[in-house]
Amino acid sequence: MTNAQKWVAAFLFLFVILFALSRITKEDASSDFDFDFYGEEEQSQTSSSELNGLTLAQRIGCSSCHGVDLKGTNQAPTLVNVKDHWNRTELINYLRNPSSYGNDQRFIDYKNQYPNVIMPAYEKVDIKELGAIADYILSLEN
C-alpha cells in the first residue's frame, strides 16, 4: 500500500464509523421524539381517562350508592343511559347542585323509590374530576 492509499483507507474507515454513529444517535432520538410515539401515548391517555372517570367515581363515593359499576343499587338509580337526559355541562352542574333539579317526573319517581337517600352535592370536587366522571357516565349505555 502506498501512503496515499493508506490515507484514503483511513478516511473511508472514519467515514463508515461516523455514519454508523449517526445512525445510532438518530435511532435514540427517534425513540424520544418520534411522532408515532406520541400517537400511542395519546391513545393510552384516552383510555386511562375513561378508566379514571370510573375510578374517580369509586374514590369519591358515588359507587357506595350507585354501585361499583354505577349500574344502580337499592340506594340509588342506575346511571346507564343517563346520556338520554343530560349533556355534559348540565350533568356537571347537576352533580354540583342536585337539589335544584328535582322537578322532572323522573326525579319525583326517584324520591318515592329512594325516600331516605339524598344525592349529595359535589360542588367542592375539582371541576376536571367531575368532567372525567361526567364523561364516563355519559359513555354508559345498554
Interface residues with ligand HEC (CB under 6 A)? 57, 60-62, 64-66, 75-77, 79, 82, 85, 95, 98, 102, 106-107, 110-111, 114, 117, 119-120, 122, 133, 137
Nearer to ligand HEC, 131 or 137 (CB): 137
CA distance 55 to 52: 5
Nearer to ligand HEC, 6 or 59 (CB): 59
Smallest separation, CB 119 to ligand HEC (Å): 3
Nearest to 125 by CA among 48, 47, 57: 57
Smallest separation, CB 26 to ligand HEC (Å): 48
Residue whose C-beta lies closest to ligand HEC: 62
Residue 126 C-alpha from the chain's centroid: 15
Nearer to ligand HEC, 46 or 100 (CB): 100
Spell out the long-range contacts of 118-124 with Cβ–Cβ below 8 A and sequence spacing 24 or more.
119/65, 119/76, 121/95, 121/96, 121/97, 122/60, 122/95, 122/96, 123/96, 123/97
Cell, residue 55: 375510578
Smallest separation, CB 39 to ligand HEC (Å): 31
CB 96 within 8 A of CB 134: no
Nearer to ligand HEC, 6 or 111 (CB): 111
